Amino acid sequence: MTASPSPPAPPARWRELASPVLAPRAALVLLGIWLNAADSLVTATIMPSVARDLGGYAWFGWAVAGYLLGSIMAGASSGQLAQRLGLRTALILAALAYATGCAVSAGAPSIQIFLIGRLVQGIGAGWIVGFCYVAIGVVFPERLWARMFGAGAGVWGVASFLGPLVGGAFAAAGIWRWAFWMFAGQGLLFVVAVIALLKAGQGSDDEATRPLAWRTLSLLAVAIFAIAGADIATGRIWPSILLVLGLAFLALAGRVNAAPGERLLPREAAHPATLAGSGYAMIFAFSVASAVFGVYGAAILQTLQRLSPLQAGYVVSMDAVGWTATALIVSGQPDRRHGTLIRGGALTITAGLICLAVFIGTPWIWGVVAGAAILGAGFGLAWALITRRILGALPADELALGAAATPTTQLIGGAVGAAAAGAIANLLGLAHAFTPQRAAFAAPWLFAAFLPVAALGCLAAARLGQGVREG
């Protein structure tokens, strides 16, 4: 006589997260994700005001690249620290680091001190997000994990829309420093919530033995700082040399990543000819190519179009509007269409960049609005499908690393793109003379310079899309 099978577990429901026990903890995790998502996006519309007050037009790329580099370095170590320190202690230290970085930026008397604050903010934010994702696996039942990850993605979507608007509102009021004081306060509020809601000793054993990829991370940091150094180098020779050196160190980091104990990314990430490698190449290329709009879009609009910071924030947020709209459409599409959507998304992103390159230096503001919306729509079409395709091509023993590597690759691409945007802006003469005349001349070339990178992303998308069954 065979035993009857156990009944299936009941389906997870959203209302379970609203229970008296789980609701405060869900709010804690989502607040942590919000701190990272909103802070990085607020800065896009605040930086022109920061540059005017602190004399930092030559350092535009550093504000984004430094923050993202800190997030990458911290995120890579979050699993191990959560295990060694305990989740509660790790979250408290991360939030204190984040709040400290915000306070340093808020009170900075010079652009250099401001950038130190941004780096510390990035480290704190990277740890917070990493620890929050660890917390999802530790604090919540397994059947609710998908709901929590979905809620986290929703926070990113809301932050993508609200972040530039919040930054624009603070900048328009002439109180950009208060935006950072606000986030410092939220960081301290997060500390209080962690102390109240999490028990000591909770952690994850999964990351206890995996070594940190310190050589890969160090080479990556050198590469990004070399590229960013081209932002402030004088003349034409030194910026070009620093760009080449940065790209060389970036390639070296990819090679070192394949060594034992240096696995920041899966082996195939360094081999674009493979299916998974083409997916990572697509993520990296389009993250690099699109970073220029987040770094310089608001500044150019304020300079050329005479838009207020809030108005420029609305234009920049059209990227998020396009992304959200198409992502909702894609969420219900069957597998047989995923290849077409991935390739179509890549072409749409490229079309958005072309539109921005054409209109960014002209009085046709609606062309810029359309370009931003098209750019975001391309990401919405393809982005949710790329990770799924990558994971389907990886061996079982690399699935966890592969999943974690997709946001890491996006952060690396964003950091490299931000640094490169600043370097190219320097070569075009924008770094030290951000005047309407100079911006009108340089802006189209600044955006056009990233179209070859987008073309490489399209090639990777063609390879990745072919691997998705169409029929």
pLDDT of residue 240: 84
Query: Are 87 and 32 spatial neighbours (Cβ–Cβ below 8 Å)?
Result: no
Query: Quick count: other Cβ atoms within 10 Å of Cβ 411?
Result: 23
Contact indicator for 45, 39 with CB cutoff of 8 Å: no
Predicted confidence (pLDDT) per residue in 246-300, tens digit:
889 988 888 887 776 667 778 777 788 888 889 999 999 999 999 999 888 988 9
Lowest-confidence segment of 226-240, 305-319, 361-375, 453-467 by average pLDDT: 226-240
pLDDT at 1: 45
Collect all residues with Cβ–Cβ distance below 8 Å to 19 and sequence separation of at least 6: none
Could you name the CATH architecture of 212-471?
Up-down Bundle (1.20)
- Mean pLDDT confidence for 17-35: 83
What pLDDT, on a 0 to 100 scale, did the predictor assign at position 469? 44
Q: Which of 1-10, 35-44, 113-122, 410-419 is least confident?
A: 1-10
What's the confidence (pLDDT) of residue 331? 66
Say what the pLDDT of residue 471 is. Answer: 37
Closest CA to 163 of 111, 116, 125: 125
CA 275: distance to chain centroid?
23
Torsion, Cα 150 33 262 201, to 10 degrees, reads: -100
How many whole angstroms separate alpha carbon 457 and alpha carbon 462? 9
- If one compares 459 and 52, the residue with the highest pLDDT of the two is 459
Residue 27 or 188, more confident: 188
At 57, phi and psi to the nearest 5?
-60, -30
- Residue 12 vs residues 33, 146, 394: alpha-carbon distances, Å: 22, 9, 28
Distance CA 60, CA 228 (A): 9
Homologous superfamily, domain 23-210: MFS general substrate transporter like domains (1.20.1250.20)
Mean pLDDT for the chain overall: 83
Distance between CA 448 and CA 431 in Å, rounded? 17
Are both 23-210 and 212-471 of the same fold? yes
User: What is the rounded distance in angstroms from the CA atom of residue 12 to the CA atom of residue 8?
Assistant: 12
Residue-range domain boundaries for the chain: 23-210, 212-471
Q: Model's pTM, two decimal places?
A: 0.82
Residue 424: phi and psi, rounded to 5, are: -70, -40
Read off the pLDDT of residues 350-384 as tens digits, 9 standing for 90 and up: 999 999 999 998 889 999 999 999 999 999 888 87
Contacting residues for 467 by C-beta, under 8 A, at least 6 apart:
275, 278, 339, 389, 393
Amino acid at 298: A
What are the residues whose beta carbons fall under 8 Å from the beta carbon of 350, sequence distance 6 or more?
378, 451, 454, 455, 457, 458
Residue 31 has pLDDT above 70, yes or no: yes
The per-residue pLDDT for 470 is: 41
Read off the pLDDT band of 113 (50, 70, 90).
Answer: very high
Q: Which two tokens stand for residue 12?
A: 């997870």
In the block, tokens 């899309």 appear at 465
Give the 3-state secondary structure of residue 220. helix
Token pair 């390879």 is at which residue?
463
pLDDT of 4: 47
Q: What is the pLDDT, as a whole number, of residue 13? A: 66
Residues 6+ apart with CB under 8 A from 310: 45, 165, 168, 169, 171, 172
